[in-house]
Amino acid sequence: MLWQFGIGFAQNQFSFSAVEKFQNELNAEYADAKTSPLLPDDLKVFKSLDFYPVNEKFFVVAQFIRTENEQPFEMKTSTERKPVYVKYGEAHFNINGQFFKLNIYRNIELSKKEQYKNHLFLPFSDLTCGSESYIGGKYIDLKIPQGDTIVIDFNTSYNPYCAYSPKYSCPKVPLENDLKIEIRAGVKKFHD
Query: Which of 33, 24, 28, 77 minimizes the C-alpha distance to 54?
Result: 24
Per-residue pLDDT of the chain (192 residues; tens, 9 = 90+): 443 333 334 457 888 889 999 999 999 999 999 999 999 999 999 999 999 999 999 999 999 999 999 999 999 999 999 999 999 999 999 999 999 999 999 999 999 999 999 999 999 999 999 999 999 999 999 999 999 999 999 999 999 999 999 999 999 999 999 999 999 999 999 975
Give the N- to C-terminal CA distance of the chain in Å, as an integer.
Answer: 24
Spatial contact of 25 and 32, defined as CB atoms under 8 Å apart: no
Tens digit of pLDDT for each residue in 139-163?
999 999 999 999 999 999 999 999 9
Spatial contact of 38 and 46, defined as CB atoms under 8 Å apart: yes
Beta strands 138-143 and 149-153: pairing type?
unpaired
> What is the per-residue pLDDT for 12?
72
Please state, in angstroms and rounded to a whole number, the distance separating the CA atoms of residues 155 and 9.
Answer: 13
